[in-house]
Amino acid sequence: MRKLITFCAAAVLILTAGSAHADMTVIDFESLDIGTVVDDQFSYLGADFNGDATVTGFLSSSFPLLPESSKVIFNSPSYDLTRVDAVGPEWMMAGGHVTGTDIVILTAYDSSDTPLITDSTGGDNTFNKDKPNTTNMLLSVSAPNIAYVKFSIINSGTTFTVDDFTFNPVPVPAAVLLGMLGLSVAGMKLRKFS
């Protein structure tokens, strides 16, 4: 009887919590060597960069780094976009700090390739003495079930950098947690009778 009460109390706690929230993940690219093409090196964290970007330490004084950074990624010359796919759970938020020589757009897509939401730099945000605080603009998109995002630039041949790519996986539903709890209790019962 005591175990049944404990089980019911745990179930109520899980249902009232609604879901377990996954932690925000930040990829800062510091672990990669300069010149490395970024592909699936971060799949274990939940992100695949598809080989659309390269690591650099410094492009020019127009592209200052974040204070805590020594490396960023930039779109390879042959690419006008950098696509990042969710590996494992889809995301509910994704973004990064962007500097570009033209309008850079971050677009979130669902698994059927439907655009969900966008964010934009609004124009060239490289360093300018008249606008010193416009570099490394945080672009961020939030929507349920983001399967992948694309950083893209309006005019072909222009460049942009991304630092501190950040994403937050969709929380695990309470029903899944409750099912796992039920299987655990059933396993304990079977073990007791063995």
172: pLDDT strictly greater than 90: no
pLDDT in tens, 61-94: 888 899 889 999 998 666 778 999 999 999 999 9
DSSP state of 176: H
DSSP bridge partners of 165 = 27
Residues above pLDDT 90, as percent of the chain: 56
Least confident range from 3-7, 62-66, 78-82, 145-149: namely 3-7
Separation between Cα atoms, residue 68 and residue 59, nearest integer Å: 17
Task: Read off the pTM.
Answer: 0.77
Q: Which CATH superfamily is domain 22-170 in?
A: Protein of unknown function DUF4465 (2.60.120.1350)
Q: Which residue has the tokens 């976009």?
A: 81
**189 against 143, higher pLDDT:** 143
